[in-house]
Amino acid sequence: MTERNRIGLTWISFFSYAFTGALIVVTGIIMGNIANYFNLSISQMSNIFTFLNGGILIAILLNSWLIKIISLKKQLVFGFILTVIAIIGIIFCHSVFLFSINMFILGLVSGITMSIGTFLITHLYSGSKRGSKLLLTDSFFSMSGMIFPVISAYLLEKKIIWYWSYICIGGIYLFIILLTINLDFSKLKNKNTNQEQIKNIWNINVILLSLSALLYILGQLGFISWIPQYTTEILNINIKQTGSLVGSFWMSYMIGMWCFSIIIKFFNLHHMFIFLSGISTVLMYCFIHSNNYLVLQYIIISLGFFSSAIYTIIITLASLQTKKPSPKLINLILFFGTIGTLLTFIVTSPIVEYKGLYATLISSNILYSIVFLLSLLIYINTKYRKIICNNLF
């Protein structure tokens, strides 16, 4: 494979995560305007956006089988066509039902594209370089999540109708399709045998890593989603300072990805997983038990930085179970991570209602501590397998 082709495919991966990040993050900015457009309450509108997350989940689940039927290039071309159809539908539809269908379509396209993006990186790079590139890829999710809310807020401030946010997001897929039609995907055919794929899926480490992905995402989103209510209602911090806390978390999260994309090359991934999950658990505990705003700011910046690489390390460790990771193996981790996203409010809302905000943050801290324990189990199991292999051969 030529270096030009490799770089082009890598940029498709970057844009695939940027596309998903933009779709998910702008929801909170424009939800009120969409609710007014359809004469619905905010709570009713938030339920409709479940179609977006549902589409992402289904797409990731099905993509490992879809790749056997339709090539990566054709999937991306079809994805562009569906994106155009969905955005046109959003512009001209005037019913909640049609809007929900269009959001589901965007979710499907997003899930398939993100799955392809991860698959490309895991096949183009190996070892620590794979982990480094996955971190850079994931950082485009955060970068897009920072840029597009600003764009959406600007459009709304200028009295431009909300659906222009989705037109702007569609521009990301335009870059993807322009790269796709000019690149060669033929070198990326998966050569794993069915027996090898099945062995990968049932490897105990893959199961533990999948569980880690679910619990980490659930813990992270459960924590950051309820920080605004916790700090304003329990700590009596004003809303501007609360927004600064959340913004600081995502900013340091993105910076952390950039930094760890370099740092990760010099350290063992298992050791990094243990260290980052452990220190993140401690930092979250310190945040929950602090009430000074300046201290909270320092802690949440540190938490964002040190936790930024955890999810990507989980994906990388799963992909390194074999030389050529199958689509099923990669999609399994993404699938469990997406389940964590979907479960966020399903799990945390009842805790808030019956036990309060403090208990909700404690539950997120417990989830982080479980991820730390799982990282130890994964490391021990890896060492055990190496000892067995050395004795056999």
The confidence score (pLDDT) of residue 197 equals 46
The confidence score (pLDDT) of residue 198 equals 45
The confidence score (pLDDT) of residue 249 equals 85
| The two domains 3-184 and 196-392 share their CATH topology (first three levels equal) | yes
CA neighbor of 358 nearest in space, from 291, 300, 301, 313 = 291
pLDDT digit string (tens) for the chain, length 393 residues: 688 888 999 999 999 999 988 887 777 667 778 888 888 876 567 667 778 878 888 888 787 677 778 888 899 999 999 999 999 999 998 889 999 999 999 999 998 998 888 888 878 887 667 777 877 888 888 788 677 877 887 888 788 899 999 999 999 999 999 999 988 887 665 544 444 444 444 578 889 999 999 999 999 988 987 887 788 888 888 867 777 787 788 788 889 988 988 888 788 889 999 999 999 999 999 999 999 999 999 999 999 999 988 998 998 888 777 666 566 677 788 788 878 877 877 788 788 888 888 999 999 999 999 999 999 999 998 776 655 445 544
The confidence score (pLDDT) of residue 364 equals 96
CATH number of 3-184: 1.20.1250.20
Rounded to an integer, what distance in angstroms lies between the CA atom of residue 54 and that of residue 338? 9
- DSSP-based three-state secondary structure for 147: helix
- The CATH architecture to which 196-392 belongs is Up-down Bundle (1.20)
Give one DSSP letter per residue of 56-90, joined into a string: HHHHHHHHHHHHHHS-HHHHHHHHHHHHHHHHHHH
Residue 138 CB partners (closer than 8 Å, separation 6+): 17, 257, 311, 312
120: Cα within 13 Å, side-chain hemisphere: 31
CA neighbor of 26 nearest in space, from 172, 124, 133 = 172
pTM of the model: 0.74
Give the domain ranges of the chain: 3-184, 196-392
The confidence score (pLDDT) of residue 262 equals 85
